[in-house]
Amino acid sequence: MFKTLILIGAIWFIREIKFILFWLFLWQLKEYHVGRFLDHFSTHKGKNIIFNYLLITKVILLVVSIIMGFGNSLLLVLFLIYSAETIIFLRQIYLKTVKKPVRTSKSLFLGGVSLLVVVLFLAWSINKNIVWLLWFDILTPIIVSAIVLLIQPFFVLARKNILEKAREKMEKLKLVSGLKVIAITGSYGKTSTKEFLTTILSKRFKVLSTSKHQNSEIGVARSILDDLKPSHQIFIAEVGAYNKGKVKEVCTMLKPRIGIVTGVNEQHLALFGSLENLLSAEGGGELAEALPKDGILVVNGDNKYCLSLYKKTR
């Protein structure tokens, strides 16, 4: 019996690695923003993560084990489930299709802490009751999320330091090389507009733009610190927002000369809490206010919210 428990514990640990990587991947994808993370579960893909046959089966197994005890038949079912999950995970590793966070100091630290918790829990539970492994399995999303949120305050302090360094570097480059900054925000079309504009302006100028979908304040700051050089003449920043005040914060660092609002809709309304907050942030209100008196604001003339911003902006 003990050998069976060891075997189940081993395959449980392997498949637990997969789910730690996935949940850290999802948190990183949502840039460790609680609102964006929770909003993901209102989508069809997000609902499937929670409401799926495998998780429902595990919950039923747990309920049955609590009512009737954990017999050999339930042990066999759990062994088969964990074996299948482990085989699928190993196959994904071979095919290089595992969903995992991009390797950063933050993701490595969070992954290390999460794995340590798993190892300690496995060592504690292996001699007690196999049901504890099932409990941990079902609660893995909550456990990993709790680790992320508990450690987040320490990363917030580091984040403030990064933003300040990026602001100082930006001011220095503007004085030395006359760097011009273009900020792009909106509910949609930011990345495409950034790519088009980068391609066009690169014909005449040395241009740097924020990479991929790095549109958070820390993503923009990283681009400034890691990639922006004195030789660059134009810096194009895609600025995302998931609550009121974020665009303003990024613009305080960037001090853009030109602002572009690609288009606004209500798809992210739940994140902002009100239409007023949405229009202030990704609606371009904060970007317009951050521009200098001789700055340029470009808006989407086919969008009613952009036209409203145009009429209000001096």
What are the backbone dihedrals phi and psi of residue 301, each rounded to the nearest 5 degrees, phi first? Answer: -70, -10
pLDDT digits (tens, 9 = 90+) for 43-96: 888 888 888 888 999 999 889 888 887 777 888 888 899 999 999 999 999 999
What is the pLDDT at residue 278?
84
**H helix or E strand, kind and range, residue 294:** none
Nearest to 160 by CA among 31, 223, 249: 249
pTM: 0.67
What is the pLDDT at residue 2?
60
- DSSP secondary structure code for residue 209 in this structure: E
103 located within any domain:
yes
Domain check: are 13 and 65 in the same one? yes
Domain check: are 184 and 127 in the same one? no
Is the pLDDT at 270 greater than 80? The verdict is: no
pLDDT digits (tens, 9 = 90+) for 96-108: 999 998 787 889 9
pLDDT digits (tens, 9 = 90+) for 108-147: 999 999 999 999 999 888 777 788 899 999 999 999 999 9
Structure tokens at 3: 């050998």
Structure tokens at 311: 């009429």
Domain check: are 146 and 183 in the same one? no
Residue 155, SS3? helix
Domain check: are 295 and 236 in the same one? yes
pLDDT digits (tens, 9 = 90+) for 155-202: 888 888 999 999 999 999 998 888 999 999 999 999 999 999 999 999
- The boundaries of the domain holding residue 283 are 178-312
CB 148 within 8 A of CB 27: yes
CATH code, domain carrying 257: 3.40.1190.10
Nearest to 84 by CA among 12, 6, 157, 179: 12
Q: In this structure, which long-range contacts are made by residues 158-161, counting pairs with CB atoms below 8 Å and at least 24 apart in sequence?
A: 159/217, 159/218
Domain boundary among 97, 126, 156: 156
Which position has the higher pLDDT, 40 or 15?
A: 15
CB 183 within 8 A of CB 260: yes
- Rounded Cα–Cα distance for residues 128 and 215 (Å): 47
Domain check: are 300 and 192 in the same one? yes
- Rounded Cα–Cα distance for residues 185 and 216 (Å): 11
What is the pLDDT at residue 106?
87
Number of domains in the chain: 2
Domain check: are 192 and 296 in the same one? yes
Is the pLDDT at 35 greater than 90? The verdict is: no
Is the pLDDT at 1 greater than 60? The verdict is: no
CB 185 within 8 A of CB 282: yes
Domain boundary among 126, 156, 186: 156
Q: Do the strands 258-261 and 180-185 form a parallel or antiparallel pair, or are they unpaired?
A: parallel
pLDDT digits (tens, 9 = 90+) for 228-256: 999 999 999 999 877 788 899 899 999 99
What is the pLDDT at residue 32?
85
Which range, 10-24, 153-167, 300-314, is most confident?
10-24
